[in-house]
Amino acid sequence: MASFEPPASGTPLKMGPDGKLIVPDDPIIPFVEGDGIGPDIWKASVRVFDAALEKAYGGKKKVVWHEVYAGQKAFDEFESWLPDETVEAFREYLVGIKGPLTTPIGGGIRSLNVALRQRLDLYVCLRPVRWFSGVPSPVKNPGDVDMVIFRENTEDIYAGIEFEQGSEDNAKVLAFLKEQFPQRFSKIRFPDTAGIGVKPVSQEGTARLMRAAIQYAIDHKRPTVTIVHKGNIMKFTEGAFRNWSYEVAEKEYGDHTYTWSQWERTVAAKGQEAANAEQDAAKKAGKIIVKDAIADIALQQVLTRPTDFDVIATLNLNGDYLSDALAAQVGGIGIAPGGNINYSTGHAIFEATHGTAPKYADKDMVNPSSVILSGVLMFEHLGWQEAADLIVKGIETSIENKTVTYDFHRLMEGATKVKCSEFGDKIIENMG
Ligand code: NAD
């Protein structure tokens, strides 16, 4: 029987006055194992996490895992898809990890993941995309893909402000537009049968995302940050996102960055040669080049010129498409990790990016790498780099040895197929 028992031991993480996490040697980390394939994956993952910590720190640092409930399991046990206790645990203990959750059909909640992100204001969706040698890929040089996407997580059309065609509210919104903004209303091609959505994009929301992206580039010595937007069409949302992002780079990180916006101004004032010289000097000085790309072109260029991209800062919907398209280049969603983070409060939930794959539930078959690599992100976030590195090494070697789960096995020649749990064993064996 599930229950919300308090953790037996351990120390909560705290946020320091300097805005940095205070990480004890025995942090309490809440986890949701997830629905469908979640329990299989969690069992394998937690063994890998504990083994890496033991190997890295010989018992000096360890996680006190604290189970909390969401999704189907929570509904079955507590008649709530997302009990308040779960949100409170993530709030109190700051950092947590979760498996995939069934999306409830009907009833107020659209997506549990979106609800959690909104309630904890986890404004960055962090999606690093890199290739592990040997992973089957549809592109020629998957090793060129090494990008980190900062997807804005709280705004854009994901705010969920929609008005269903034919509803009373929809009629009110259309009537308001017709009365107040007749010219813009006239652009609605079929007003009688149109659903309406609202796309809020704010300066604060943009600025905090961009700060996180630039700080990451500084901390990880990444040479560029690319702002991906559709500002050519949506000027006051996506276009504003571009402009505000450049503003943050120039006003707050001027010592660390050189922007294309600066380059354009120098071209206008002094000509292209002078602007190029200025940019070259900035590169030599180790400054991060902040540039931008229209979303549709970016989706082409991440395929054709992947080395042009390092850190990407983008809005919610663009980020959604871009992260899955990029994940496909390096082995698909079975291996793509994710983190949802509020860098100001310290709240963070790391999570599988795939769903519950119900047809594989309880078969001990699927690839646990998405949750395991999310754990790597979590350990990096805690500053436990040694444990993170051991896990990455374990995964790299296991894949190089061609011992893989069914999803990679069917695409790799001469590979040995192992179960989800056995893949966890291999990672532990191969930590070196
Ligand atoms: P899915 O990601 O669950 O599965 C699609 C297919 O991807 C599977 O059939 C399987 O072939 C493959 N796959 C997924 N994870 C894998 C893994 N770890 N290893 C190997 N192969 C894997 O997507 P879906 O079928 O569209 O959604 C099923 C349920 O999951 C729905 O209720 C959906 O709402 C939910 N969902 C949850 C999340 C989340 O919690 N983060 C994300 C997406 C979907």
Tell me: the pLDDT tens digits for 368-406?
999 999 999 999 999 999 999 999 999 999 999 999 999
Section 307-326 average pLDDT: 95
DSSP label at residue 238: I
CA–centroid distance, 232 to ligand 1, in Å, is 34
* pLDDT for position 108: 62
**Residue 50 known to be catalytic:** no
Separation of alpha carbons 274 and 198, rounded Å: 43
For atom 12 of ligand 1, which residue has the closest CA?
A: 357
Is pLDDT larger for residue 185 or for residue 19?
185
CA–centroid distance, 418 to ligand 1, in Å, is 20
224 neighbors 290 (Cβ within 8 angstroms): yes
**Residue 296 known to be catalytic:** yes
CA–centroid distance, 354 to ligand 1, in Å, is 5
Spatial CA neighbour of 373 closest among 48, 19, 9, 1: 48
36 neighbors 42 (Cβ within 8 angstroms): no
Beta strand spans in 7-156 (E): 14-15, 21-22, 28-32, 64-67, 95-98, 124-130, 146-152
| Burial zone of 93 (CB within 10 Å; 0-12 exposed, 13-18 middle, 19+ buried) | buried
Is pLDDT larger for residue 158 or for residue 273?
273
Residue 90 has pLDDT above 90, yes or no: yes
Instruction: Look over the chain and give the mean of its residue pLDDT values, rounded to a whole number.
Output: 93
Q: Which helix (H) or strand (E) holds 395?
A: helix 385-400
Among 354, 371, 372, 395, name the best residue to mutate to test ligand 1's pocket (greatest count of ligand atoms within 8 A of Cβ): 354
* CB of 323 sitting under 6 A from ligand 1: no
Instruction: Report residue 120 as tokens.
Output: 């904890």
Tell me: the pLDDT tens digits for 246-301?
999 999 999 999 999 999 999 999 999 999 999 999 999 999 999 999 999 999 99
- How many C-beta atoms lie closer than 10 Å to residue 238's C-beta? 24
Instruction: Report residue 212 as tokens.
Output: 């996180």
Separation of alpha carbons 132 and 325, rounded Å: 17
Instruction: Report residue 315 as tokens.
Output: 């809005």
* pLDDT for position 106: 63
* CB of 357 sitting under 6 A from ligand 1: yes
- How many C-beta atoms lie closer than 10 Å to residue 391's C-beta? 27
Residues composing the chain: 432
CA–centroid distance, 78 to ligand 1, in Å, is 24
* pLDDT for position 180: 97
* CB of 111 sitting under 6 A from ligand 1: no
Spatial CA neighbour of 52 closest among 348, 392, 351, 420: 392
356 neighbors 369 (Cβ within 8 angstroms): no
37 neighbors 361 (Cβ within 8 angstroms): yes
Tell me: the pLDDT tens digits for 330-381?
887 778 899 999 999 999 999 988 899 999 999 999 999 999 999 999 999 9
* pLDDT for position 192: 93
Separation of alpha carbons 278 and 293, rounded Å: 21
- pTM to 2 decimal places: 0.92
* pLDDT for position 1: 47
* pLDDT for position 136: 85
| Burial zone of 283 (CB within 10 Å; 0-12 exposed, 13-18 middle, 19+ buried) | middle
Residue 2 has pLDDT above 60, yes or no: no
| pLDDT classification of 134: cutoffs 50, 70, 90 | confident
Tell me: the pLDDT tens digits for 182-201?
999 999 999 999 999 999 99
* CB of 104 sitting under 6 A from ligand 1: no
What does each C-alpha distance from 7 to 50, 81, 228, 394 come to in angstroms? Answer: 17, 22, 42, 29
* CB of 369 sitting under 6 A from ligand 1: no
Question: How open is the CA angle 283-286-290, to the nearest 5 degrees?
Answer: 60
DSSP label at residue 348: E
Separation of alpha carbons 157 and 317, rounded Å: 7
69, 123, 158, 343: which one is catalytic?
A: 158
Among 356, 367, 422, name the best residue to mutate to test ligand 1's pocket (greatest count of ligand atoms within 8 A of Cβ): 356
Residue 96 has pLDDT above 90, yes or no: yes
For CA atoms 225, 228, 232, 234, the dihedral sign is negative
Which atom of ligand 1 is nearest to 354's Cα? 2
Section 233-246 average pLDDT: 97
Tell me: the pLDDT tens digits for 119-131?
999 999 999 999 9
